[in-house]
Amino acid sequence: MADPRWLSPAEQSAWRAHLAAHRLLTHRLDRELQEHGLSFNDYEILVNLSESPDRRMRMSDLADATIQSRSRLSHQISRMEAAGLVTRENCEDDRRGTFAVLTGEGWDTIQRVAPDHVAGVRRHFIDLLTPAQVAELDEIYTPVIAKLQGK
């Protein structure tokens, strides 16, 4: 077995900075969304549905898009159904398939909450960077995402 390739001090620093920034940013944005009665996961689901044709997605595709297990997403959708944000509909061409569908209340919620959320993303992240740094982050993360998604 080969010796592990330990991270250099610069690599370790970059890795830990990435982890800390991700955790702190996600935590802060989640807290801000809670002021609107949503979790970060709720918001991500609402965004995905609002941007999909007919404001609906197959549950399996939504689980993949939000990087959740099918079971976890099912529980999340149940909570969101109880809040009137989404509903489930059977897939007509595949009896085993189910769609998550954004309700009118869900659409109104995303329209009301999105401006505050975007302001938080700007305040806590985007506005702290130069346009060149934003472009560089996109360039950095694109191949990482592609590799992890198997593309």
Q: Is the pLDDT of residue 121 over 90?
A: yes
What 3-state DSSP class applies to 39?
A: coil
**The pLDDT of residue 94 is above 90:** no
Q: What is the CATH number of the domain that holds 62?
A: 1.10.10.10
Domain count along the chain: 1
- How far is the CA of 81 from the CAs of 43, 47, 73, 100, 133, in angstroms? 14, 16, 12, 9, 39
Give the domain range for residue 61: 27-114
pTM: 0.90
Q: What is the pLDDT of residue 39?
A: 96
Residue 38 resides in a domain: yes
Q: What average pLDDT does the chain have? A: 95
128 is a domain residue = no
Instruction: Identify whether the C-beta of residue 57 lies closer than 8 Å to the C-beta of residue 65.
Output: yes
